[in-house]
A and B are shown apart, each in its own frame.
Chain A
Amino acid sequence: MNAFLIPDLLLLLTPFLVIAIRIFTRNSKPAFIFANLSFLVIFVFLNRLVLGDEPHIFFSTWKVDRFGVLMREILILGAFLGVWFAKDYFDHRADHKSKLTQMAEYIAALMFATFGGFAVLSATELLTLFLGLEIATVPMYALTAWNKTDPNGSEAGTKFILMGSVATAFELFGLSYLYGFAGTLELSLIADAVAQNMHSPLLWISVLFLICGIGFKLTLFPFYTWAPDVYDGAPTPTTAVLSVTSKLVAVIFLMVLIFGPFAAIHSELIPFLSLLAAITLFVGNLGALKQNRLRRFMAYSSISQAGYILIALIGPESLARGAVAYYFVVYTIANYLAFFIFGVIGRNRSETFESLRGLSKQSPVLAVALAVAAFSLAGIPPLAGFLGKFFLFYSAAEAKGYALILFAVLNNVIALYYYIQLIKAAWVDEPETEPEPLAITLRQKVVIIVLMIGTLTIGVLPFLNTNIFRIVG
């Protein structure tokens, strides 16, 4: 038995156990505790794995390498924060919607989605890759429509699954052409075939369909249209998961393809990827300008973040990997920090910009935390988000994508404008009516403080960051 498989097997097993525990206990508390323990165990296990430079491959279909382990840890971190964030929505009403039920099943679904991410990371051939992506996506449909009493949620779920099916069809179509082109499912063999015949139309049709298909999940232009509706209609914890876990899996999928089978044509893909990135981040920024509902705002913000992440992918593999891994650590932390604050605000109010008013007087700490999250997402030094963006641009600069970087940096001005709207609402705008008192649980307090410290320290102490690059570089 090889120890490298244990975290993956554990993560596959635990969702079933979580549901099983729920069957035999009266409430979902034991399941929640068990889930947290398993995340901890898996994380520690991942952390203890000692890997060489060579990947470990099992049964020729499952690969574990250092980059994979790092990304697994980030996925687990995202899932863990997602579960903690979701807990409050099962405890009480929020955002004027009824409270969620069936927590254990929710957790299990989230774990399955995370396992899907593991599968994408481990794929050595197209079947595993595709299955992993679907395992990561299908639970999201259910999570979106989790609140059965909320018609908006059902509407969002319906839109999501219908559009997602089309996107999946795109992907399958692209994969089938790729198979037809190379005559094999093995990623490494496909890469050889691509290197030998770089200008086959068969190959390029497959590239177009695959990137457009994953563009749906990554919310690239113009496939992002579902995102504002789904982010807004879904329960808030699902929105958080969609903007972090789901996006991370999609980025990994794209990286596996671009730096795997398509490595030989990477340089020819650069114009396409640059355009995709530029238009996506521009449109996302524009869309976020005048939003009032916070979740819709976060949808557009995450669309533009996807554009920024895509910038890194035009760089060489080692730099892109490091930049993406670092960015996702930073992005996960800052995004969840923002969502946790929205969760506190939205408990007795609706999740809108108006509800943020007067926050600086009601709870200065929350208002400071919100400012930290917003500034980090906008990429203001010395916060972590700045270094994150810096590394993304650094990777692109290796590929001489200076025009793209310039465009992205100028776009940051727009991004700064709308992120500052958050801060303005919390610090400057006066509430029209006396705001409802805030209720904050100990768990929320602890998480908010920890995430805030994380955002501050990661940026200020640059020598902490070199590790990530040492691991993947």
Chain B
Amino acid sequence: MTNILGYSYWILLLPLLGFAVNALVLGNRFPRAAGIVSTLLTGGAAVLTGILVFGSFGTNPQAQVLWEFPFLRFSETFAASMGMLFDPLSAMMLFVVTVISTLVHIYSLEYMKHDPSSGRFFAFLSLFTFAMLGLVVATNLFQMFFFWELVGISSYLLIGFWYQKPSAVSASKQAFILTRFADSFFLLGIVLVSYIVGSFDFATINSLSLADFSNSFIQLGIAEFSKAQGLAIGALFIFIGGWGKSALFPMHIWLPNAMEGPTPVSSIIHSATMVVAGVYLVARLFPFFMLHENILQLILILGIVTALFAAVIACTQTDIKRILAYSTLSQIGYMMFALGALGYTASVFHVFTHAFFKCMLFLVAGAVIHQVHSNYLSSMGGLRKKMPWTYVCALIACLSISGIPPFSGFFSKEEIFLATLQNGHPVVFAFALLTSALTAFYMFRMFFLVFHGNARTQFEKPVKESLLMTLPIVILAIFTVISGFEKNIFAEYLVPPQVTLPHTGAHFPWIPFAATALSLAAIILAGIFYVSPRAQIAKALDEDNRSRFYKIVAHKFYFDEIYYAVVRQFLLGGIAAFLKWFDNVVIGSLVKAATFVFQKAGDAVRAADTGYLPFYLGTLIAGLLFWRFLGNLPL
């Protein structure tokens, strides 16, 4: 136990090593070796994490800093550190990230086998893992931001991995720019909060009390605020960082478009890294956010809006990866509104269960795409017989996300429902229930259209399910089945530090029955629509002859178009055009003038460079006299 604590930094270093070795040495020259090295090193990190996490079970649930060193000293008392925080929350995330990353690595060994630059792929995947691990063990805001940005940059590299495709390039840019936009607020928030508090440390920030800050004031440029208000603004800014990273409405558009990356990347982005970073941020600073009622309200509303909005869109999509992307948005919405409704444990529990089934769903999607070479439902159908293992696992995952007992999604969703109702948000609860039914509907719509019915395309020779791709899916299926039963562990350990949550004690024993019944009804409805003998599948997949409302939803409420309009007309056409003019005409001529002056002055200096010794000797005397009169000496 003490040994592993001492060596805990290897959990971070092994993926970093995988990145370094692949980027510098193996790379695309030895893609196979690169994949194996990356996989083994990430697996090593997972094993170490396992030992660390299970070794510390039941011993000491308190947070401890395993190691920490000052990275950048701003002053004697104020330093930005790098360290490793180990508490139940980070332990859970470490476990999820390393396990899922390892499985995705294994899966990619097969999936990326024929890609000529798979060495680069594994290098970036390891970097991504390292970044996320660094983020979850962060002891302070500075470290979190550091790795937060590293997560951003590695996701940029991975989404744009197939940079030959213009759509991939624009998707990666979109993801990067949109999250960077949110991150700039995050950085402002960090500056503001650390300035007021005088520390980056989570422990310090989480144990603040606003009363200490309400009597001193701070000048924020436009007006003077009390420091307590300053903290509230800082908290809002910090949350905006998570808002963008977790792709909450209306900053969600980058996530479905990020599907342009290779499927394993989508799998890891949606389950263990990147999008849950925002949820993790709020959970990590939960006691701090609890000080600010309004921000919790905002989180609650944003969460439920995103959940419902994404679920509605998911019902109409025909690209299976997009369906899954919208389902992720919807589930992230669940986690967020649960936090907003003070259901900390429920939310974190949902992060845990969601990671496994969502990762699995994407791996299944990847396997299906591998089989039919298309993302669209119109070319699938009837895959049940060709891919029996994948079929069974997909069924488990779909049941789980739909909240059918005894799969994990049921337990975590039920916790969220309970927490929402207990803490007095009946409207949100109603919407959440509705979303849950929608979830069951669109997941089984996809499931039936992919695996049941008749094959809508014929292939000459079906690819057999390969071991490397099926094994991770099966392992994840096992996790999906068992992870729901960890409920008690979560209830015991994963409680927010330093705060006590209000406990009404009210029980609503009817919630699981109601939720399950609704979900089952939705599944049956999906069955009638898409799998029963009378189902009109051709009509269901037809996107053209539809009602107006359906079309609006299928076009994702035209959010992409709105974004493009704003960017093109307003930013590029208006502001950028003006700035371009200003740059060309005003700045350009200033630069030209400055260049001319300096070049002439340079010529003058070089003119003195005569090579004539008597002149040089003369400069010594002249220089002495020069400084005698111009050197400001009291002579």
Contacts and interface: CB of A to CB of B under 8 A. Distances in A.
Interface of A: 158-159, 162-163, 166-167, 170, 199, 201, 204-205, 207-209, 211-212, 215-216, 221-223, 225-226, 228-229, 268, 271-272, 275-276, 283, 286-287, 289-290, 414, 462-463, 466
Contacts of B622: 222
Contact of A290 (B599, B613, B619, B635): B599
B609 A163 contact: no
A135 B627 CA distance: 27
A225 to B, nearest CB: 5
A290 B623 contact: no
B510 interface: no
A14 to B, nearest CB: 35
A204 B605 contact: no
By Cβ-Cβ distance, the 8 closest A-B pairs, closest first, are A289-B602, A271-B632, A222-B623, A286-B602, A287-B605, A272-B631, A286-B605, A225-B616
Contact of B628 (A166, A208, A276): A208
A167 B620 contact: yes
A204 B635 CA distance: 7
Interface in B396-446: none
B624 interface: yes
A275 B631 contact: yes
A222 B609 CA distance: 11
A225 B598 contact: no
**Per DSSP, are chain B's interface residues mostly helix, strand or loop, or mixed?**
helix
B634 interface: yes
Q: Of A166, A199, A276, which is in contact with the most chain B CB atoms at under 10 Å from its CB?
A: A166
B620 A223 contact: yes
B71 interface: yes
B446 to A, nearest CB: 47
Contacts of B628: 208
A466 B73 CA distance: 9
B630 interface: yes
B601 interface: yes
A201 B635 contact: yes
Contact of B606 (A204, A275, A290, A463): A290
Contacts of A204: 633-635
A290 B633 contact: no
Given A162-B613, A223-B623, A226-B616, A287 B606 contact: yes
A271 B630 CA distance: 10
Nearest to A198: B634
B538 interface: no
A466 B70 CA distance: 11
A276 B626 CA distance: 11
B624 A212 contact: yes
A207 B633 contact: yes
A229 B611 CA distance: 7
Interface in B66-81: 69-73
A208 B623 contact: no
Contacts of B601: 286
25 contacts: A159-B613, A162-B617, A163-B613, A163-B616, A163-B617, A170-B620, A204-B634, A208-B628, A208-B635, A212-B624, A215-B623, A221-B623, A222-B626, A225-B608, A225-B619, A229-B611, A271-B631, A283-B605, A286-B604, A287-B606, A289-B602, A290-B606, A462-B71, A462-B73, A463-B70
Nearest to A283: B605
A204 B631 CA distance: 11
A348 B222 CA distance: 64
Given A289-B599, A463-B69, A272 B620 contact: no
A209 B619 contact: no
B632 A208 contact: no
A212 B623 contact: yes
Nearest to A300: B605
Nearest to B609: A228
Given A229-B609, A272-B627, 11 more contacts: A162-B617, A163-B616, A207-B633, A208-B633, A212-B627, A276-B627, A283-B605, A286-B604, A290-B602, A414-B598, A462-B73
Interface residues of B, number: 34
A303 to B, nearest CB: 10
Contact of B631 (A158, A208, A216): A208
Contacts of A205: 635
Q: Of A201, A228, A287, A462, which is in contact with the most chain B CB atoms at under 10 Å from its CB?
A: A287
A211 B617 CA distance: 17
A162 B615 CA distance: 12
Q: Of A216, A463, A466, which is in contact with the most chain B CB atoms at under 10 Å from its CB?
A: A463
B139 to A, nearest CB: 16
A276 B624 CA distance: 12
A384 B69 CA distance: 21
A162 B71 CA distance: 51
A393 B299 CA distance: 45
Contacts of B606: 287, 290
Interface in B559-603: 598-599, 601-603
Contacts of B619: 222-223, 225
Contacts of A275: 630-632
A339 B165 CA distance: 43
Q: Of B606, B617, B620, which is in contact with the most chain A CB atoms at under 10 Å from its CB?
A: B620
Contacts of A208: 624, 627-628, 631, 633, 635
A425 to B, nearest CB: 18
Contact of B598 (A166, A170, A199, A286): A286
Nearest to B610: A225
Nearest to B621: A166
A159 B616 contact: yes
B597 to A, nearest CB: 10
B413 to A, nearest CB: 45
A306 to B, nearest CB: 14
A421 B622 CA distance: 33
Contact of A225 (B70, B602, B609, B635): B609
Contacts of B70: 463
Given A272-B631, A463-B69, A166 B620 contact: yes
Contacts of A276: 627, 631
A288 to B, nearest CB: 8
A216 B601 CA distance: 22
A280 to B, nearest CB: 11
Interface in B51-67: none
A229 B630 CA distance: 27
Nearest to A159: B613
Interface string B482-519: 00000000000000000000000000000000000000
Contacts of A229: 609, 611
A287 to B, nearest CB: 4
Contacts of B616: 159, 163, 225-226
Contacts of B605: 283, 286-287
Contacts of B71: 462-463
Contacts of A207: 633
Contacts of B608: 225
Nearest to B595: A417
Contacts of B634: 199, 204, 268
A178 to B, nearest CB: 15
Contacts of A158: 613
B602 A272 contact: no
A320 B417 CA distance: 64
Contacts of A211: 627
A287 B609 contact: yes
A290 B604 CA distance: 11
A441 B599 CA distance: 39
Contacts of B609: 225, 228-229, 287
A166 B620 CA distance: 8
Contacts of A199: 634
A287 B602 contact: yes
A207 B633 CA distance: 9
Given A286-B601, A462-B71, A463-B69, A209 B624 contact: yes
Contacts of B620: 163, 166-167, 170, 212, 216, 223
Contact of A289 (B598, B615, B617, B631): B598
